[in-house]
Structure 1
Amino acid sequence: MLEQQGTPPSSRNDSVPGKATHFRWWVAALLFFAGMLNYLDRAALSVAAPFIKHDLHLDDASMGLIFSSFFIGYCVFCFVGGWAADRFGPRKVFMMAAGFWSAFCGATALAGTFSHLLVARVAFGVAEGPMGTTTNKAISNWFPRREAGRAVGLTNAGQPLGAAIAAPIVGLIALSFGWRLSFVVIAVLGFVWLACWWWGFRDLPSAHRSVNAAEAALIASDREPSPVFDATRGAATPEHERTMWQYLFSLPVIGVALAFFAFNYVLYFFLTWLPSYLVDFQHLNVKQMSVVGMLPWLGAALGFAGGGVVSDALYKRTGNVLFARKVVITAGLGVSALCVLLASQATTLTPAVALIATASLFAFMTPQACWSLLQDIVPARRIGATGGFVHLLANLAGILSPSLTGWLVQYGAGYASAFILASALSAVGVVALLLTVRESYVARLKGVPVGA
């Protein structure tokens, strides 16, 4: 079986009858640090890019290919990881993924040629692929519906914070000891987190000794329970439920994927090219870039956490979960599109960084609302595979954004044209969401009579 049920929750930690424990927020903390390490790993290459380009004799177009290579394996394993989380549980999937991504992050330090670095990044992407969908599966299992927005937002706030601390950590280690050591340090941190995950997480709240009956009841109160799967036989599909493929290719799911793609294009534009933009276009040195480069990611962390709080508050106030999630996504992508467009015309440091930070704050309101929206469109037992498919489509932006930006910087109209393209795609994401994620479409997907 996937997970042994262990001691019944009613016999655990019930010293205060009727008062729920709060262990689910410790789970959220583990997921927060997973996201922080995940993005620290990813951003390390972009921060070290000036050193790597010099040591390995790479130009901007070649560096763009290296940035994009990560997503070749990543996109495929977004879906594979989500499917595996549904079938085998997030605990096992995350343990395997974290072990491999830490190992390949460390292996980046051994790269001596373009080809070596390319292979290491593809393998690293394969290992990190399950992270987003497995996180969403864990939240779906551990949080009630009314807390989903906050849970996704707060846990995923670790991701931009990881990108923020990458600048000083990698930049200062690279200046003092060389860029290779920074990847070894980050790999060690990954293995420390893996040990904490193995000790502190179980796939279902009922299987953890620190969860009492009241908390288990709270978690199950307004969220479809996640069944325990038999690893050899799977689980029976309810007669009224659609097949996995019907969910994957439905209009609402595709709409969420397009909005997520628009966000990811902006994300990976900043994640891979912002340090080079600050050094090459704004003429900062590495020490200055290490400090200034933190600011957009601090704004992004506020957007992640704040977007979840706003989305849940709107849901509580209106009782309309689709409206609450869509408002946050639309506002986030819309304001981000405007700020990125204005940043394309900024020629001095202060307005450029202020606009990029504001764009990051609003853009990062989007992903947690997308993840939460998926939880309201598809049933819990399909959330891993469906989330993995959405993440796969969304992370095609990770292949396109770095390489297109590198090409535009070297052969096109420079950084200004790269900013304009990112802005236009954000606007397209807003339109796609509004056209495809409608109450009537979601009702039909769920088999509920329209207007019910």
Structure 2
Amino acid sequence: MQPTRARFGILALISAATMLNYLDRSVLGVAKPALTAELQIGPEVMGLIFSAFSWTYALAQVPGGFVLDKFGTRITYGLSLFLWSAATALHGLASGVAGLLGARLALGLAESPCFPANSRVLASWFPQGERARANSVYAVGQYIGLGLLIPVLGWIVATWGWRSLFWLVGGIGVVFSGVWFLYYREPQDSRANAAELAMIEAGGGLSTLQAPPFSWALLGRLIRKRQVLGASIGQFCGNSTLVFFLTWFPSYLADERGMDFLKSGWAAALPYLAASVGVLVGGQISDWLIRRTGSATLGRKLPIIAGLLLTSTMVGANFTDSNDMVIAIMSLAFFGQGMVNLGWTLITDVAPREAVGVTGGLFSLCANVAGIVTPLVIGFIVGATGSFYGALAYIAALGLVGAAAYVFVVGPVVRVSLD
């Protein structure tokens, strides 16, 4: 009997959901020039608003992971999709700083289960030899959706105003939450035949296990595992680059370089498209290395380390007057950040079998502290100096720190035990 391909339908679902997830959190960066002009918001306060999303997003990661392990992927992810899309639409009703802060806090809280859930889907639905490529397919939605849509999103703002952008994107997500509930199922309840289920199980796919009860001791045991700690440090550093592109990069082009999305067209979208390629290349290289060497340690860590080193090239934009060269440098740095997304596959490989959700939540918490810190640091640097020079140096330095964490802290990529 030939295995069915039900897992690829599930992959399509989480790919679309992830694209909406990042589009919803990112459109504020596109709307920012028009929004700040209308509401009279300065760079320091705007940094605070950008950061607010990650306050609740980061804090809800661990509770969201426990909820995910307890109630399952279908219910948790579907409700999350509906609520974050509604929160996105609320941005369009804001009349000042308080309204924007409230909408960002709600958006962060609602989006928090997404990536732990994605990690759980990979662990349940895919054998290890396919996980990196599956991760790259859904993760590419983080970048390619925004990259391809940047000129369109800019046109929407110019034509109908910044509020319409939030209403449109939020409405699409509400509709898609219904699609999720209609089609997502766990492997044993799906259309997958016995041959496909056997293939997934033989490749290390996980059945649904009883989640351990919440305790601070459990979190302490997880974070003391070098694999979890080192990967979390590295992901914080790599995520800082991502947060820069999702928040301050449009302002960097407009304010520092005199570019905007309508005038520069597809050139401004190139870094996002480069990140999409980086995600796919990282996944392909990772699975290829595992097949060639049999070593998950080499296959997972090497592309991530290379990607973190590439993010540090961002500082080169400080030393050129050519906007074309700036786009090229930023594209290379964001390409590297795309490869770093492979950290989600690594954490799936090392998480204890009975605590994939909470391990993903803890990992995401550490990684998304960058979403709190980075917008604030960049906002204060720009406000104090009137330039992005120090901001780019800050992001580049974190790339080097992240590479060192994967080299010296992570150790072997093996599934850890809570015992």
TM-score range, shorter chain: over 0.9
Tell me if structure 1 keeps the 8 A contact 2:82–2:177.
yes
Tell me if structure 1 keeps the 8 A contact 2:60–2:112.
yes
Letter in 1 for 2:374: S
Shift of residue 244, structure 1, vs aligned partner: 5.4
- Which residue of 2 is the match for residue 175 of structure 1? 158
Q: Give the alignment of 1:26-105 within 5 angstroms.
A: 26-105=9-88
Q: Does 1:357 align with 2:340?
A: no
Tell me if structure 2 keeps the 8 A contact 1:83–1:384.
yes
- Which residue of 2 is the match for residue 430 of structure 1? 403
Tell me if structure 1 keeps the 8 A contact 2:25–2:107.
no
Shift of residue 165, structure 1, vs aligned partner: 3.6
Tell me if structure 1 keeps the 8 A contact 2:212–2:355.
no
Letter in 2 for 1:335: L
- Give, in whole Å, the separation in 1 of the partners of 2:23 and 2:265: 13
Equivalent pairs: percent with the same residue?
A: 33
Q: Give the alignment of 1:317-356 within 5 angstroms.
A: 317-337=292-312, 339-356=313-330
- Give, in whole Å, the separation in 1 of the partners of 2:265 and 2:76: 33
- Which residue of 2 is the match for residue 262 of structure 1? 237
Instruction: Say which of 214, 236, 240 aligns to 2:195.
Output: 214
- Which residue of 2 is the match for residue 193 of structure 1? 176
Partner SS for 1:306: helix
Partner SS for 1:112: coil
Label 1:447 to 1:322 Cα distance change in 2 as closer, same or farther (>3 A): farther
Structure whose CA Rg is larger: 1
- CA deviations 1:103-139 (Å, max 9, x no partner) are 0100000000111111111111111111111111111
Tell me if structure 2 keeps the 8 A contact 1:44–1:167.
no
- CA deviations 1:197-246 (Å, max 9, x no partner) are 111111x21111x21111111111121522354xxxx579xxxxx95541
Tell me if structure 1 keeps the 8 A contact 2:308–2:336.
yes
- Give, in whole Å, the separation in 1 of the partners of 2:293 and 2:386: 46
Tell me if structure 2 keeps the 8 A contact 1:24–1:142.
yes
Tell me if structure 1 keeps the 8 A contact 2:132–2:284.
yes
Q: Does 1:138 align with 2:121?
A: yes
Aligned residues: 417
Shift of residue 413, structure 1, vs aligned partner: 6.3
- Give, in whole Å, the separation in 1 of the partners of 2:379 and 2:119: 32
Tell me if structure 2 keeps the 8 A contact 1:47–1:166.
no
Tell me if structure 1 keeps the 8 A contact 2:93–2:163.
yes
Tell me if structure 1 keeps the 8 A contact 2:61–2:113.
yes
- Give, in whole Å, the separation in 2 of the partners of 1:50 and 1:396: 25
Shift of residue 45, structure 1, vs aligned partner: 0.3
Tell me if structure 2 keeps the 8 A contact 1:161–1:298.
yes
- Give, in whole Å, the separation in 2 of the partners of 1:249 and 1:163: 36
Q: Does 1:225 align with 2:206?
A: yes
Q: Does 1:149 align with 2:122?
A: no
More helix by share: 2
- Which residue of 2 is the match for residue 366 of structure 1? 340
Label 1:289 to 1:91 Cα distance change in 2 as closer, same or farther (>3 A): farther
What TM-score, normalized by structure 1, do the two folds share?
A: 0.88
- Give, in whole Å, the separation in 2 of the partners of 1:423 and 1:251: 24
Partner SS for 2:341: helix
Tell me if structure 2 keeps the 8 A contact 1:38–1:162.
no
- Give, in whole Å, the separation in 2 of the partners of 1:297 and 1:432: 25
Instruction: Say which of 384, 393, 408 aligns to 2:366.
Output: 393
Instruction: Say which of 275, 281, 289 aligns to 1:314.
Output: 289
Give the superposed CA RMSD. 2.0
Instruction: Say which of 93, 105, 114 aligns to 1:110.
Output: 93
Unaligned runs of 5+ in 1: 1-17, 237-241
- Give, in whole Å, the separation in 2 of the partners of 1:196 and 1:94: 12
Tell me if structure 1 keeps the 8 A contact 2:237–2:399.
yes
